[in-house]
Amino acid sequence: MIEVIQGDITKIPVDAIVNAANTSLLGGGGVDGAIHRAGGPEILEDCKKIRSKQGGCPVGTAVITTAGKLPAKYVIHTVGPVWNQGKSNEEALLASAYLSSLKLAVEHEVNTIAFPNISTGIYRFPKQRAAEIAMDTVQQFLAVNAVIEKVIFVCFDGENLEIYRELLKTVR
């Protein structure tokens, strides 16, 4: 089941929320900043442990940490591509960010997961195309995977909300 809502992802009581992080895993602005601020220092502690093991998180991949003080159980940190006029394999990398997050969620028996609109803020990926990729990737995954029961797309801005609401009509 796919839901679309408008809101702040740090407030959503699901098994896992996804963070639009960067390769350093050390935090940043946008939704990344909001998650670390609201979740407290435990999240960064976990990120640093992962960094010392694997040296960061490549674009299109994902890692999982505690959610600290957030109502979620886990934060899945994924790194979307920086938009470069479509010249740097951005579409495949964005799909990979969603898919890697979903696979990691299943490994941790996550039944409910919330995604922000990865790469559509500071990384400037065109919102319509990003939403199509997100919706397609999630839909295809849910069709063959029974562990994840609910995926919530949490839109922060009204433009993304409208785009996702329109797309959701086409998947029903």
Q: Which residues bind ligand AR6 (CB under 6 A)?
A: 8-10, 20-22, 28-32, 34, 80, 116-123, 154, 156-157, 160
Of the pair 34, 106, the CB lying nearest ligand AR6 is at 34
Nearest one of 41, 144, 138, 149 to 94, comparing CA atoms:
138
Q: How far is the CB of 143 from ligand AR6 (least distance, A)?
A: 25
Q: How far is the CB of 66 from ligand AR6 (least distance, A)?
A: 18
Of the pair 48, 109, the CB lying nearest ligand AR6 is at 48
The two structure tokens encoding residue 9: 């992802």
Q: How far apart are CA 129 and CA 110, in angstroms?
A: 27
Of the pair 149, 157, the CB lying nearest ligand AR6 is at 157
The two structure tokens encoding residue 127: 């919102």
Q: How far is the CB of 4 from ligand AR6 (least distance, A)?
A: 12
Residues annotated as part of the active site: 32
Residue 153, C-beta contacts closer than 8 angstroms, at least 6 positions apart: 2, 3, 4, 5, 114, 115, 117, 134, 135, 164
